[in-house]
Chains A and B, each alone.
Chain A
Amino acid sequence: MQQRTPLYECHVAANARIVDFGGWDMPLHYGSQIDEHHAVRRDAGMFDVSHMTVVDLEGAGALPYLQNLLANDVAKLKTPGRALYTCMLNDAGGIIDDLIVYFLGPGRFRAVVNAATRDKDLAWMRQHSAGFDVALTERAELAMIAVQGPTARERAAQVLPEDAREAALAAKPFHALEVGDWLVARTGYTGEDGWEITLPGDAAADAWLRLVEHGVRPCGLGARDTLRLEAGMNLYGTDMDETTSPLESGLDWTVAWEPAERSFIGRAALDAQREHGVPRKFVGLLLEGRGVVRGHQKILFGGHEGEVTSGTFSPTLGRAIGMGRVPAAASGECHIEIRGKKLPAKIVAPPFVRNGKIRIEL
């Protein structure tokens, strides 16, 4: 049985090409995914991300519970509204999922995890709640709209109650504000400014249509993928999974090593990896000539062999880009094997694009 978000009818009415995404009927694009991509880089676009799983974590033990569960340290979230990107690891240091945690108030947190990993995430989170005073509540009735782009916040503010607009616009990156039963968070997955708005499902269609009226362009999963890849943001299940650690996935920065006495699931494995050397490294790739980089293509790099994890044609750069994993010792000339041909590529440090600007040397 395919699942549908509260915005499904809006997508169909807007002539979306609907595809299956992890059991959900989701819009791939509404005509041209490249035009949608540019709309987010230059103006404002929005994505239905209601398929993502929202879990509220409440109780006096929510903080220590999350400090044990997650590789980043939620104790960094000092003031209500602060958000944190983190991995949830297994005992071997492999990534079960990546997620965002919001600190809503004392003893009150919210996690947003991936849709495709919902079942195993919830099982893992419940399993490790034993011994902590924390209640887990999935909020399946909530919808989520990501409004992204340089003009996204000012446009989206128009659909908020008038008395909440100023405070919402004042929220800094990775800060969120509760507006009635909406959560307006200055986060995203595109490398542009914007908000991710969580709201009751029965209010979603009305909000979506009002956002359209205020000049926000509906964008599908196709543009979401090219935007996140240009922004150098990993996709779970593609760029990392349970067999790869954050240190092999370009996510070292999301692991909170200090305080050293904080134990978290997977810490011992990560410590050992750091001590003995991380076997593989995660790199950004830019194809020198024409072609398109795709996942699973071979990276031939200084006599070593690695694999592209994500690849696409970058609409902003007009070039093919990718991310991939190679042996730690690899250096020197790099080629990507595409349909039997070895095409020269350059190793670059993502992001490729941030806030509308190209951030690598072409």
Chain B
Amino acid sequence: MSELPGDLKYTKDHEWARVEDDGTVKIGITDHAQTALGDLVYIEPPEIGSTVAAGDSCAVVESVKAASDVYSPIGGEITAANELLADAPETVNQDPYGDGWLFAVRPDDNAELDALMDADAYQALLDEEG
């Protein structure tokens, strides 16, 4: 099992969140999630400028086999979607924590980030799910 990046926050639904220098938060799915889904072939991005609440379904990742919702870990305004994924959805498989990010949110309330898991807690969840 590969090491989880320590600078990210995680959800029980296997999303990650990273606070950027400009205050926005990038969201993606974890390595565990992309492995479970298999080869991704289509990413439906959220609408830029739309407002989401924590836990809202706002993007869809589709593997050959199935479509899965991606939930925003935090509430706020969608400021960006990863345009690279339109032509290269497999980037999420290849680099889930880097170039394979899905969308960015300007958070309404930074305290929501504190409620997310750190790498140790998420690792414990993965170990539990075994």
Known: A313-B62, A339-B60. A294 touches B42 (CB 8 A): no
- Does A348 have its Cβ within 8 Å of any Cβ on chain B? no
Instruction: Report how far A135 CA is from B75 CA in the complex, Å.
Output: 68
Contact with B along A323-339 (1 / 0, CB 8 A): 00000000000000001
The contact string, 1 if C-beta is below 8 Å from chain A, for chain B 33-60, is 0000011011010000000000000001
Number of interface residues of B (CB under 8 A): 11
Count of A interface residues, CB-CB < 8 Å: 17
Q: Which of A28, A33, A222, A313 contacts B42 (CB 8 A)?
A: A313
The reply on B111 being an interface residue by CB < 8 A is no
User: Complex formed: what's the CA distance from A5 to B6 in Å?
Assistant: 42
A289 to B39, CA, bound (A): 19
Is B42 a contact of A226 with CB atoms below 8 Å? no
* CA distance in complex: A339, B57 (Å): 12
Cβ-based interface call for A292 (8 A): yes
- Return the contact of A292 from the options B38, B41, B86 (Cβ within 8 A): B41
Q: Is A290 an interface residue (CB 8 A)?
A: yes
Nearest-CB residue, chain B, relative to A226 = B64
Whether A243 sits at the interface, judged by CB under 8 Å, is: no
B67: interface (CB < 8 Å): yes
- Contact B44–A339 (Cβ < 8 Å): yes
Indicate if the CB atoms of A34 and B44 lie closer than 8 Å.
Answer: no
User: A residues within 8 Å of B by Cβ?
Assistant: 17, 28-29, 32-34, 222, 226, 290-292, 294, 312-313, 315, 320, 339
B interface residues (Cβ-Cβ under 8 A, vs A): 38-39, 41-42, 44, 60, 62, 64-65, 67, 86
Among all A-B residue pairs, the 9 with the closest Cβ atoms: A313-B41, A34-B39, A292-B62, A292-B42, A313-B64, A32-B39, A33-B64, A33-B39, A222-B65
